[in-house]
Amino acid sequence: MSTPAPARRVLSGMRPTGRLHLGNYHGALRNWVELQYQYECFFFVADWHMLTTGYEDTSRLQEHVREVLIDWLAAGLNPGVATLFIQSHVPEHAELHLLLSMITPLGWLERVPSYKDQQEQLKEKDLATYGFLGYPLLQSADILIYRAAYVPVGEDQVAHVELTREAARRFNHIYGREPDFEAKAEKAVKELGGRNTTAYRQLRRKFQEAGDTESLKRAQALVQSNTRITLADRERLLGYLEGTGVTILPEPQVLLTATPKVPGLDGRKMSKSYGNTIGLREEPDAVVSKLRAMQTDPARVRRTDPGDPDKCPVFDLHKVYSDEATRRWASEGCRSAGIGCLDCKKPLIEKIVEEINGMRRRAQEFEDNPDLVRNIVAEGAEKAREAARQTLDEVRRAMHLRID
Ligand code: TRP
Ligand code: SF4
């Protein structure tokens, strides 16, 4: 009987910027909520990352961490299936960051596009710091410490995952050669057990002697689906197949998801720095007045002027919230001046207020019981540390450092 393959790991993080908005929800969080039921997920609040740009005023950091966590729970992240934690509660990230920093050429970090971009954009801050330069490598450590297979992030973070892959490759290249690799791999082959051991040997021989890639694939599947062996043995068996060493830190992949464009109230992308947001748990009355005042097609001055939905941010919101029939109604009514902008916004206002009310309802019990959130992240940190320690043990062993 074949056992199902263990769920692959997903990891992502978010900076504690304070209360989240609908752009954060539709751009990332909603996707996380779905992923938690398909993968083994680790999601963390990146408080150390916040320090890399916001080191001067940390007075509201705790408050912001808390708000983000409650927003996550309100949005439907489920601590029963996903591991939710705070980065600084898992100091293992810092140790791996330090170790990786030893083998990372300066040029790799100086070349990360966000390094120069952010320094230009955030001119009021002095970002010529060691921490800011190293922050993409801290992100690499965040990912590699869990040996995550997938990292769901937006376009702006792809370069960081690419750096992570390079860092992993370099680490494996330098430290991935165990002196007793063959012996350990052979022992792991026996661990597979019975028929699987025989099958692995046959498939490996077919691949290595005849270059049969079909056999390679079958052997890889056999190893991946085996739940009796340890993570380390799995990596050995995979490396042994192709004649490479052990992969101590596997290379993660970006999980790019098609996220809708969420316009802010002024038509630009919804973003905290533009002050054009609708909060995930904002007061419904405030939401209604904000939406009523939201920017529309600027060419549509009078009610009798026809408009162009393609030039209207409100129509972009319809793309996020409305079904096809409503979108067609809005688009046709706009072009023919059959409806006014307030008519057009009405179904949208209803949908958004309903969504926000759901968030507010779910947030309430966490607002009322601060201990609930504290317990969730305490448990999350415990689980995360367990996983992180396993990787760090392997890393230390490979580098001939102390072993716990
Ligand atoms: N740098 C990310 C951001 O600014 C947050 C982050 C930190 C992250 N560590 C991560 C995202 C690890 C994915 C994986 O949005
Ligand atoms: Fe925008 Fe709707 Fe007004 Fe057209 S009718 S300009 S789509 S708000």
Given a contact cutoff of 8 angstroms between Cβ atoms, the answer to whether 204 and 243 are in contact is no
Is any ligand 2 atom within 6 A of the Cβ of residue 348?
no
For the structural domain made of 281-366, what CATH number should be given? 1.10.240.10
Q: Whose CA is nearest to atom 11 of ligand 1?
A: 13
Decide whether any atom of ligand 1 lies within 6 Å of the 13 Cβ: yes
Asked if pLDDT for residue 233 goes beyond 50, the answer is: yes
Query: Taking residues 182-186, what's their average pLDDT?
Result: 89
pLDDT above 80: residue 94: yes
Mean pLDDT of 191-215: 91
Q: Write the single-letter amino acid at 68.
A: V
pLDDT recorded at residue 176: 83
Q: If you measure from the C-alpha of residue 344 to the centroid of ligand 2, how many angstroms do you get, rounded to a whole number?
A: 6
What is the residue extent of each domain of the chain? 9-161+250-261+369-398, 178-242, 281-366
Could you please report the per-residue DSSP string of 118-162?
A: HHHHTTTS---SHHHHHHHHHHHHHHHTTT-SEE---GGGHHHHH
Distance of CA 25 from the midpoint of ligand 2 (Å): 24
Topology agreement, domain 9-161+250-261+369-398 and domain 281-366: no
**Residue of the CA atom closest to atom 9 of ligand 1:** 139
- Burial of 361 per CB tally in 10 Å (0-12, 13-18, 19+): exposed
**Residue 41 φ/ψ, nearest 5 degrees:** -110, 140
Angle between helices 324-335 and 313-321 (to 10 degrees): 160
Quick count: other Cβ atoms within 10 Å of Cβ 271?
Answer: 14
Does the beta carbon of 270 lie inside 6 Å of ligand 1?
Answer: no
Residues 358/300, Cβ–Cβ less than 8 Å: no
Mean pLDDT confidence for 85-113: 96
CA–CA separation, 369 vs 283, rounded Å?
Answer: 20
The CATH number of the domain covering residues in 9-161+250-261+369-398: 3.40.50.620
Q: How confident is the model at residue 351 (pLDDT cuts 50, 70, 90)?
A: very high
Rounded distance from Cα 345 to ligand 2 centre (Å): 8
* Binding site membership of 300 for ligand 2 (Cβ less than 6 Å): yes
pLDDT at position 404 over 70: no
| CA 340 to ligand 2: nearest atom | 5
pLDDT at 6: 52
Ligand 1 close to Cβ of residue 139 (< 6 A): yes
Q: Find the range with the poorest average confidence among 59-63, 235-239, 285-289.
A: 235-239
Which residue, judged by its Cα, is nearest atom 3 of ligand 2?
A: 341
Tell how far the Cα of 326 is from the centroid of ligand 2, in angstroms. 12
Distances (CA, A) of 131 to 55, 67, 115, 321: 10, 25, 11, 40
